[in-house]
Chain A
Amino acid sequence: MTVKVMILEDNPVARSFLCRVVRESFTDANHITEAGDLQSARKHIALTGGAQGLHGTDPFKLILVDLELPDGNGMELLAELRRYPATKIVTTLYSDDEHLFPALQCGADGYLLKEDRFEVLVEELQKIVRGQPPLSPAIARRLLAHFRHGPGSGDWQAPDSGFVTTSGFTTSRPVPMEMAPETERLTPRETEVLTFLSKGFTIKEIASLMGIKWFTVNDHIKSIYKKLNVSSRAEAAVLASKQGLV
C-alpha cells in the first residue's frame, strides 16, 4: 500500500533535506510528492479528490507545509485542508509563538523547526505522527490564555502602553453570547499540563511531577491540540456566520 506524502517547500535544498527526513522516519513512506508553491500544491490536492474530502482516490497521509512561501502563506492551505484526512505539519524557520500559534489554530497537527538537526527532526516527525506533538513554553502560554478566555478571544496583542488599563494579557472584548459546548474547555489536568509546559518542563519531568505516566501526558497534549482545532473551527464558524457568509 502506498503511503503518499506531500512536501510543500520553496527552497529546493531544504525540500530534499525534508525528503530524506521523511524517508528516514517512515519505512513505508514510498511516494513523496514535492511542490514548490501553493498553486502546484493545490493542483496535487485536487488530483487526490479535492480539499473537501471526497476521496475516492488515494489521499495524502502526511503533508508538510512550509509557512514562508513565495505566493502566499502556508496557513491558507492549512485552512483549506481542515477536513482533509492527513497529518498536517508545518515547517518553519520561525520558532516564536507569534507565528506558530495561528498555524496551529488553522488546523496543524504539529510543527517542525527547520533549524533542528536531522536526528531531532526525524524523532519529532515520528512523535507527531504517533500523536505526541511538541509544545514550546511560549505556545503553551498562548494556549492557556486562549482557553481561559473562551473561543471568542482569538488573537490578542499585549498592550504595553495604552491608556486603557489592562489586566494580564487580554483586552476585554465582547464574548459571543453562544458559548461553545464544553468540549472546548480544558480539563483541570490538561490545564495543569499546559501550565507546566509553559514553565519549560519536559514531558518526563511533568510526568514525574504529576505522578502520571509519560504517555498520559502526551494524550493530554493531543487532546489539547484537538480542542484547539475544534475551538478554532468553531470560532471561524462564528465569525463567518457573523459576516453572513454561512
Chain B
Amino acid sequence: MSARPVAGLPERQGPDSAFEPGTLERERSALQPPRLTARQRPALALLALLTFVGLLVLVRQLAATPWIDAQWRADAGGAVVLQSSPLPALAALDGLSLASVSNAQGDTVIPDALVLHGLPRWQVSDALRQSQVGQQQSLAALLGQGQVQLNWRDGSAVTLQPTARGVAGLGVPFFVVAALALTLAALGVSALLARPQLRNLLYLLMCLGQAAQLLFVATGTLPGLGAWPRSGAGAGAVLGPLALDALTAAAAVHALVLHPRRQAHAGWWGAGVWLLALVWWCLAWLAPPPGVWWWAQAVALAAAATCWWLARHSYRSEPNPFALVVQHLAGLVGCGLLVVTALVALASMRPETAGPAAALGAWAWTLLPGALLLLAPFASRSRQVLRDGALLAGAAAIAAAIHLVFMASTSLGFTNSLLLAAALGVLVFALARRWARATTMGRHALDAEFTFEQLYRAARDVQMQPGRYSQLLGRLLQDMFEPCEVLEARRELRQARVVGGGAALEVPLRGSSRRAPGQTSPMLVLRYARGGQRLFTDDDARLADRLVEQLRRAVAYDRAVERGRSEERQRIAQDLHDDIGARLLTLMYQAQTPAMEEYIRLTLKDLKTLTRGLAAGDHRLSHAAAEWKADLTQRLAAAQVQPVWDFTHDRDVPLTMVQWSALTRVLRELVSNVLQHAQASSVSIQISLEGPILLLHVADDGRGRAPETWAHGLGLGGVRKRIKLIGGEVAWRENEPHGIVCEIRVTDFGGLG
C-alpha cells in the first residue's frame, strides 16, 4: 500500500516523504494503551497472580515481625517521646522520653530520633545514616528475641512482650500503595505482552522498578518501632532503593535512545548506559564514596537531564509530538526531583524537619515518576489526561515543597502546614490548568466558532464545486489540525482513527456512494498535528468523523436537490415534447399552404430545441456547432443555396441551456430569413470563439438592402431578444457588393464555463 502526497495541498517537506502508513502500524510506540489478544490475557492474569502472591508473601512476612504498638515522635532535642499507645501498660505514659531499650540479656539500644524514620536511603549525612541503620538493626534484633524493657528518661521502666504486627498493624496507606504498585507492575507486563519489543521491555523494567520503590517506601514508613525487621538487611535498605534508582534511570535513558526515533548507534548507547548503572551500583555497594546520598541524587538528576536532552534532540531533528511530550515529561520529572533534593537537603539541617522531609521526599521521589509511567500509555487518549495528570503531579510536588518550607520556617504544626500547603497546591493546579489550556491550543483556539466557520466555508465550496470534494475536505482537515504532512492512501476504513499512538490520523473520505466493486475507498492520512507539536487523540478522530459526515450531508443534499430539479425539468420537457409536439405535427400535416407548413415546422423545431435544452445537461460548443452545420447546410443545400461554413474556437466551452437554445434558434431564424426573402445564391456562416468573445456572422449575397429601414417582425425581434438575453449585441449592415450581413458579438461568453 503506497501513499502519495495529495495534489493541490501545500506540501510541507518532511524528512521522509516516502511515508508509508503501514510503517506506523508496525512501529506502534510504547505510548499506547496495550491491547491484548484473547491468548495473551491468560498470560497476563497468570503474571498478575504471581505478583499478587509475591505481595501476599511480603505482607505475611511484615505482619509476622514483632513490634510494640505505640506512636512515637521526636522532640526538639532529638529524643524519642511516646505519643500514644493502645497497650494498657503504656496507656498513662504519654509524653515520656525513651532513654533506652534493653532485654533480659542486657543488650541495650539507645535510640534517637533517627530510628523513627525508616528510610536510611534518604538520610543525607553518611554518619547519621550508618547510625540509623545500626540502630534499626539492633532494635530489630532485640525485639526479635523476646521480652524487652523500655527504660524511660525519668528512670522508670516498662517490660513488654513484642507481638506480631499483624496485618492490621500495617495500616491502610500501606495497602493503598501496594495496590498502586500492583497496578503499575500489571501495566508494564501487559504492555510487554501486547507487543514484545525492546521498548516495552524497558517500560516494564521502569514500571517494576518504580513498583518496588513504592513498596520500599511503604515498608519504610510503617508506624511503630522496628521498621525493617531482618537483621543484615540494613544495608539492603540503602542498596535496594539505590539499585532500583539506577535501574529505572538506565531503562529510561535506553528507552529514549530507541523511541520515538531511533538514534544513531542506539545499541552502543544502551549498552553504555547499562554499564554505567552497573558500575555505579557496584561502587555504592563495595566502595561507597563519601556523601553517597548526594551522589545518588546527582546520578538520578543526570539521568533526567539526559532524557530531556535526548527528547529535545529527537524533536529538533524531526518534529514529532511524542518527542515533545517526552521532553516535557522529562523536564517535569527533572525539576521535581531537583526541588525534592533541594528541600530534603535544606530540611535535613534541622532535626525536627529532617524526618518528615525525608518521608515526603521519598514519597515524591517515587510517586512522581510512578504516576507519569501510569499516565504515559493513555496520553494519546485524550488531551486532557496528559495535561491534567502532569499538572496535578506538578501541583502536588509544589504543595509538598511548600509544606516542607512551612514546617521548616514557621512554627505551624504538621497538620496545619499540610492543610495550607494542600490548599495552595489546589490553587496552583487550577491556575496552571487555565494557563496550559491557553498556551497549548496552538495558533487557533479550537472552539466551536472556529470549527463552525471552517466547516461552513468548506460546505459552501463543495456545493459550488462538487468535483473538488477530496481537495476541499483535505483543506478543511488541514486547517483544523495543521498537520506536518497530508497523504492520500487507499484502504477500507469505516471511521477515522488514530494510529501510531497519536502520530497520525487516518480519515476515510467516503465521498462517492458509487464505487466499482474491488476498488478501495480513498482516505487521507494526516501526520503530526500542529506542526509536530501535538499528538492526535481520539477526540480528534471523532471530530474528523463529524466533519466528513457534515460535508457529505451537505453534498448529498445538494445533489438530491439538483436531481429533483433535473427530474422535474425532464418531466416537463417530455410532456411538452410529446403532447404539444405531436399536435403541432398533426397541424403541420394538415397545413393549407406551404408557407404555413414551413411556419409550423419551424415552430416545432423551436419547441424541440427548448425541450431538449431543458432535458439535457451538457452541450459543448463543438458538438453544438457540428449539429448547426449539418442542419443549416442541409437546409441551404435543399434550397439550392451554396453554404459556406467556418467555425473556429480556441477552447471547447460547455454551453448553458440559455446559450445553446438562444444560439440554435437565432441561427435557424437568420437562415430562414435569408431563404424567405433574400433569394441569395450563397450564404456564409462564420462562428468564432476567441477568449471570452464569441462572434457570429451570417452573410448572404441576396437582394436585401438598407437594413436600418427594416421593420423587424416577430422573427428578427426574437433574434434581438435572444442575443440580448445571452449578453450580446446584434447588428445588420449591408454586404458588398450586395446582400446583408448580420453580425452578432457576445463578450464574456463562456465566462462562467
Q: CB distance A137 to B626 under 8 Å?
A: yes
Q: Given the complex of chains A and B, what is the CA–CA distance between A174 and B638 in angstroms?
A: 46
Q: CB distance A200 to B589 under 8 Å?
A: no
Q: CB distance B585 to A114 under 8 Å?
A: yes
Interchain CB contact (< 8 A) of A163 among B467, B586, B604, B629: B467
The range of chain A's interface size is 20 to 34
- Main secondary structure, interface of B, reads helix
Q: Given the complex of chains A and B, what is the CA–CA distance between A145 and B353 in angstroms?
A: 94
160-216 of chain A: CB within 8 A of chain B:
160-165, 172-174, 198-202
Please name the residue on chain B nearest to A172 by beta carbon.
B516
Interchain CB contact (< 8 A) of B467 among A11, A93, A165: A165
Q: Given the complex of chains A and B, what is the CA–CA distance between A201 and B479 in angstroms?
A: 53
Q: CB distance B586 to A14 under 8 Å?
A: yes
Q: CB distance B577 to A200 under 8 Å?
A: no
Interchain CB contact (< 8 A) of A161 among B466, B470, B604, B626: B466
| A116 vs chain B, min Cβ distance (A) | 8
Q: Given the complex of chains A and B, what is the CA–CA distance between A120 and B598 in angstroms?
A: 13
| B511 vs chain A, min Cβ distance (A) | 4
* Interface 9-mer from A44-52, A78-86, A94-102: A94-102
Whether A158 contacts B618 in the complex (CB less than 8 A), given A115-B601, A163-B511, A172-B516, comes out as: yes
Please name the residue on chain A nearest to B633 by beta carbon.
A202
Greatest chain A CB density within 10 A among B605, B630, B634 is at: B630
Q: CB distance B627 to A200 under 8 Å?
A: yes
CB-CB < 8 A to A117: which residues of B?
597, 601
| A221 vs chain B, min Cβ distance (A) | 14
Whether A202 contacts B618 in the complex (CB less than 8 A), given A137-B623, A161-B559, A173-B516, comes out as: no
593-608 of chain B: CB within 8 A of chain A:
597, 601, 604-605, 608
Q: CB distance B630 to A162 under 8 Å?
A: no
Q: Given the complex of chains A and B, what is the CA–CA distance between A94 and B582 in angstroms?
A: 11
Q: Given the complex of chains A and B, what is the CA–CA distance between A98 and B586 in angstroms?
A: 24
Interchain CB contact (< 8 A) of B604 among A13, A115, A137, A173: A115
CB-CB < 8 A to A14: which residues of B?
585-586, 589
Interface: A156 (CB within 8 A): no
Interface: A24 (CB within 8 A): no
Interface: A141 (CB within 8 A): yes
CB-CB < 8 A to B470: which residues of A?
163
Interface string of B615-630 (1 = CB under 8 A from A): 0111000110111111
Q: List 27 A–B pairs whose Cβ atoms lie within 8 Å, in order of A's numbering.
A: A11-B582, A13-B586, A13-B589, A14-B589, A17-B589, A68-B582, A93-B578, A93-B581, A93-B585, A93-B608, A94-B577, A117-B601, A120-B638, A136-B627, A137-B626, A138-B626, A138-B627, A158-B617, A161-B466, A162-B467, A162-B514, A163-B470, A163-B555, A164-B514, A165-B467, A199-B626, A202-B633
- Main secondary structure, interface of A, reads loop
Q: Given the complex of chains A and B, what is the CA–CA distance between A134 and B497 in angstroms?
A: 60
Q: Given the complex of chains A and B, what is the CA–CA distance between A11 and B618 in angstroms?
A: 32
Please name the residue on chain A nearest to B622 by beta carbon.
A199
Interface string of A132-169 (1 = CB under 8 A from B): 00001110010000000000000000101111110000
Q: CB distance B629 to A199 under 8 Å?
A: yes
Please name the residue on chain A nearest to B578 by beta carbon.
A68
| A75 vs chain B, min Cβ distance (A) | 16
Q: Given the complex of chains A and B, what is the CA–CA distance between A114 and B581 in angstroms?
A: 11
CB-CB < 8 A to B626: which residues of A?
137-138, 198-200
Q: CB distance A161 to B467 under 8 Å?
A: yes
Interchain CB contact (< 8 A) of A200 among B601, B612, B629: B629
| A214 vs chain B, min Cβ distance (A) | 14
Please name the residue on chain A nearest to B555 by beta carbon.
A163
Please name the residue on chain A nearest to B625 by beta carbon.
A200
70-112 of chain A: CB within 8 A of chain B:
93-96, 98
Q: Given the complex of chains A and B, what is the CA–CA distance between A88 and B672 in angstroms?
A: 33
| A14 vs chain B, min Cβ distance (A) | 6
| B156 vs chain A, min Cβ distance (A) | 95
Interface: B26 (CB within 8 A): no
| B579 vs chain A, min Cβ distance (A) | 11
23-74 of chain A: CB within 8 A of chain B:
68
| B577 vs chain A, min Cβ distance (A) | 7
Interface: B469 (CB within 8 A): yes
213-256 of chain B: CB within 8 A of chain A:
none
Q: Given the complex of chains A and B, what is the CA–CA distance between A142 and B616 in angstroms?
A: 15
Q: CB distance A202 to B637 under 8 Å?
A: yes
Q: Given the complex of chains A and B, what is the CA–CA distance between A98 and B608 in angstroms?
A: 13
Q: Given the complex of chains A and B, what is the CA–CA distance between A198 and B622 in angstroms?
A: 10
